[in-house]
Amino acid sequence: MNATQFSLGREIYGRECRAEVGSLIKLDGSPRYERLLPGDDNVCPGWLGCDFRYPNPLQGWEKQHAIACNVSVSGNTLQRRGGDLWVRVRIEWVGDCEPSTFSGGWLRVN
């Protein structure tokens, strides 16, 4: 993870739950599961950077036009789905000279 560290983790039932590069995320209302890409550190004045990038859904644009985000664990319990453990997360879509927006989703816990 880069030096920015905006994203927050949490220990749940003795297991550290934290988003990392390569973590699997499912956004609320989306059928897709995506892996987080590396973020940016202070790429321009007035913008603090981001911990991660979320892949762009357009084929061929996945990495080149990935969206800046931070992912913080918001859930207090782990849920088993299809044999994997998942936890609720709050996703900050980092604004570029405008306020950030937020949404929810799920993080697969390794």
- Is position 73 within any domain? yes
The pTM score is 0.86
- Is position 46 within any domain? yes
Q: Which amino acid is at 5?
A: Q
Count of domains in the chain? 1
Question: What is the distance between the alpha carbons of residues 109 and 36, in angstroms, rounded to a whole number?
Answer: 13
Q: What is the mean pLDDT of the chain?
A: 87
- Is position 49 within any domain? yes
- Is position 18 within any domain? yes
pLDDT surpassing 80 at residue 41:
no
- Is position 36 within any domain? yes
Structural domain including 89 reads 10-109
Tens digit of each residue's pLDDT (9 = 90 or more) over 42-85: 667 667 789 999 998 888 887 888 999 999 999 999 999 889 99
Residue-level pLDDT at 91: 97
